[in-house]
Amino acid sequence: VRTIAAVLKKCGNSKVLTEGRHIHQFLVQRGLNKNVFLSNQLIQMYGKCGAVQDARKVFDSMHRQRNAFSWNIIIAAYNLQGLLKEATELFEQMPHRNVVSWTTMIGALCRHGYVEKAMELFKEMPQRNVVSWNAIIAGYAENEQGVSALELFEEMQEEAMKPDKVTFLSVLKACASLGAIEQGRAIHNQIIRNRLLLGIMVGSAVVDKYAKCGSMEEAYIVFKSLPIQNVITWGAMIEGYAQKGDAEMTWHCLYDMNLKGIKADEVTFSSVLAACINAGLVDEGRWYIKSMRANHGLTPDVRHYTCITDLLSRAGCLYEAETLLEGSDEPD
């Protein structure tokens, strides 16, 4: 049972629906489909594969066997597809909502931009844990309401709720979008004081925050101190230099990351092109967008064409911009 569960989980995470269906059939044949634990895994597997209808069938077939997990999982499945209405209906029908159910809905509402509604739920819910706090803080941070995010962060600590690494991620993001360098430093110090080692995720957020606040020196110090550097940490550095129009350092990073065996991706190149715009380097821009295909096996998409058109039209090369767009396979 444990191994079947693990396989189902893998199917969900790697979205291999056909394999998942086979296991489902197998479970039916063996009469194991009455197992609540496995049924929950099935719902989750279908949900992650985007097959909400199948997930729902399993859920419905459970009848009175359903537990809080089943409900939470099916609600999350609808939310994953952006089906907020259906998720809300189930949430309202759910008999014994727990902290996870509430938090799931808070996250979903925030993802749709309904932060105020999420806040209502947050206040209404009977008890909150660190994840609930994280969800609402991330919601404000995502919806460019960094100030509220930071206020909530204060509030949570007044209520003696200990922030964890996800909390720090969200508030650092809020600082980054606000350009709040001092607040950001304070949070960085707090992370250090809490002896939370900078893992790759929080570490990238710290780097990004310093970069967005324009302090590339501090960004670099943290960057170097991280256990590993990946495409995202490099990307945060490159974006920082790009925003400053520091083309030199942008090229340097791009070169360096390749040396270290980290492959630049589409996001990296949209920053590189942004650097070209900010530094007014038309030839380099032309070269890098070609280099994406030629040297990196990447396909430029709308983001890159937007940059290059911007760059070319600023330089007065409108005709060239048009021909470039016609040659691309992007509709816009």
Partner RNA sequence: GGCCAUCAGCGG
* Number of residues forming the site for RNA (CB under 7 A): 62
Q: Whose CA is closest to 60, among 43, 46, 76?
A: 43
Give whichever of 65 and 189 is closer to RNA, judged by the CB atom: 65
299-332 b/e (C-beta count within 10 Å ≥ 16 → b): ebeebbbebbbbbbeebebeebbeebeeebeeee
Q: How far is the CB of 320 from RNA (least distance, A)?
A: 21
Question: Does the protein bind RNA through residue 40 (CB under 7 A)?
Answer: yes
Q: Is 231 in the site for RNA (CB under 7 A)?
A: yes
Cα-based angle 9, 11, 17 (whole degrees, multiple of 5): 140
One-character DSSP codes across 63-75: GGG--HHHHHHHH
Of 66, 97, 188, 212, the one binding RNA (CB under 7 A) is 212
Q: Does residue 132 touch RNA according to CB under 7 A?
A: yes
Question: Does 208 engage in binding with RNA (CB under 7 A)?
Answer: yes
Position 200 contacts RNA (CB under 7 A): yes
CA dihedral 252, 253, 257, 259 (to 10 degrees): 10
Q: To the nearest whole angstrom, how small is the minimum distance from the Cβ of residue 35 to RNA?
A: 7
Per the structure block, which two tokens stand in for 177? 């979008």
Q: What is the biggest distance separating any 2 CA atoms in the chain, rounded to whole angstroms? A: 71
Q: Which is nearer to RNA, 145 or 270 (CB)?
A: 270
The dihedral region occupied by 160, where left means phi > 0, alpha psi between -120 and 50, and beta the remainder, is: left
**Residue (190 or 230) nearer to RNA, CB:** 230
Which of the ranges 1-9, 26-34, 54-62, 83-91 carries the binding residues for RNA, by CB under 7 A? 1-9
| Sole binder of RNA in the list 306, 313, 315, 317 (CB under 7 A) | 306
The distance from CA 242 to its chain's CA centroid, rounded to whole angstroms, is 22
Least Å distance, CB 290 to RNA, is: 18
Q: Which of 287, 282, 273 is nearest to 243 (CA)?
A: 273
Cβ at position 229, least distance to RNA in Å: 9
Q: Interface with RNA includes 97 (CB under 7 A)?
A: no
One symbol per residue from 262 to 281: x for binding RNA (CB under 7 A), - otherwise; what is it? --xxxxx-xx--x-------
Q: What is the DSSP string of 191-251?
A: HHHTT----HHHHHHHHHHHHHTT-HHHHHHHHHHSS---HHHHHHHHHHHHHHT-HHHHH
Closest distance of CB 221 from RNA, Å:
17
What does the per-residue mask of binding to RNA show for 152-171, with x meaning CB under 7 A? -------------xx--xx-
List interacting residues with RNA (CB under 7 A).
1-2, 5, 35-37, 40-41, 44, 67-69, 72-73, 76, 98-101, 103-104, 106-107, 129-132, 134-135, 138, 142, 165-166, 169-170, 173, 176, 200-201, 204-205, 208, 212, 230-236, 239, 264-268, 270-271, 274, 302-303, 306
